[in-house]
Amino acid sequence: MSFAILLINFPYSLKLIGVKMKSTTCVWIILLLISSKSYSQEIVNKNFDVVADNQQFPEGAAWDGINSIYSSNCYGNWITKITADKADTFLIKPTQPFDFGKTNGLTFDKNGNLFACDYSEGKILIISPKGKCEIYTDGFEGYKFNRPNDLAFDKYGNLFFTDPKSYGKDLLDGRIFMIENKTKKVIRLWDSLAFPNGIAISKNGKNLFVCESAKNRILRFDLTKDGKISDPKTFVELPGGDPDGIAFDIEENLYVAHFGGQAVYVVSAKGKIIQKIPVPGKKPSNLEFGGKDMKDLYITEDETNCIYHTKSDIPGLKLFNHK
């Protein structure tokens, strides 16, 4: 018998066995059953290794496609580089030719340049493999961006990024932008979002996924070859906390760093939560697949200020910008 049929017959079943219950109480029980069913998932406990500690609000984990993982320090002045599970400093906040603010989301292009969201200065930065830092773009229609958060390339080299401002489910001032690869033109794709956060593109390149953190959900947009997005739908709603950084595996499951929820959730291609992976701290902020087999999963965590590593059973999806 299906779960839906059981719910429909629940009040009648109580009457048959002689249980008296107010209608309002019955409704609350049914809602509780629906809620538990919606968020039912397998709990998967994994072993985590600390690959970097003493970070300052680590974020924006990015795999370079070769042998290293990079991450921002949102409350610090440096970008961390981890190679063979050994942490080092890739870049300390430069003062020349300009003084950048605080970086968040990171990603690489096919030439090995690191792109960074400078959320405190409202800019997108490009950093060469040798650490030369330049402004890639700093605004739209004469105004600087709000607080660029996370970013992703499509297979055509167009760069998409989220630009939140205020936090609150009724504060709809967040936006999504795209920077055209050939022209470097900045295009506003969407607005009126409640703190857009993590961003990722589907395996076939036909959908853009964006965490709308203040509404505790992930949106799925249709995505065209020329970078236009349309028809946003709620892909999944999560229980408590805020969906933050996201990444796909090769089977098109979406991994969600659930800030405040002390977990990474794994969501199937159909939008069903299938796994909950508890993590060492309450505030996982981002995650990234890497390694030769793409089974190394790195997680930035902001309560312990550490970057953790574990192994995934399923390889991660290679990003369009990886060679």
Q: Which secondary structure element, helix H or strand E, spans residue 290, and what is its range?
A: strand 284-290
Contacts of 124 (CB under 8 A, 6+ apart): 115, 116, 117, 118, 135, 136, 137, 138, 145, 148, 151, 159, 161, 179
Give residue limits of the domains in the chain.
3-35, 44-311
**What is the rounded CA–CA span in Å between residue 215 and residue 212?**
6
The per-residue pLDDT for 40 is: 65
270 three-state secondary structure? coil
Query: Per-residue pLDDT tens for 102-115?
Result: 899 999 999 999 99
Nearest in space to 267 (alpha carbons), one of 46, 107, 39: 39
Query: Per-residue pLDDT tens for 252-299?
Result: 999 999 999 999 999 999 999 999 999 999 999 999 999 999 999 999
Query: Contact 221/234 with Cβ under 8 angstroms?
Result: no
Radius of gyration of the chain, Cα coordinates, nearest whole angstrom: 21
CATH superfamily of 44-311: TolB, C-terminal domain (2.120.10.30)
Query: Contact 79/70 with Cβ under 8 angstroms?
Result: yes
The per-residue pLDDT for 89 is: 86
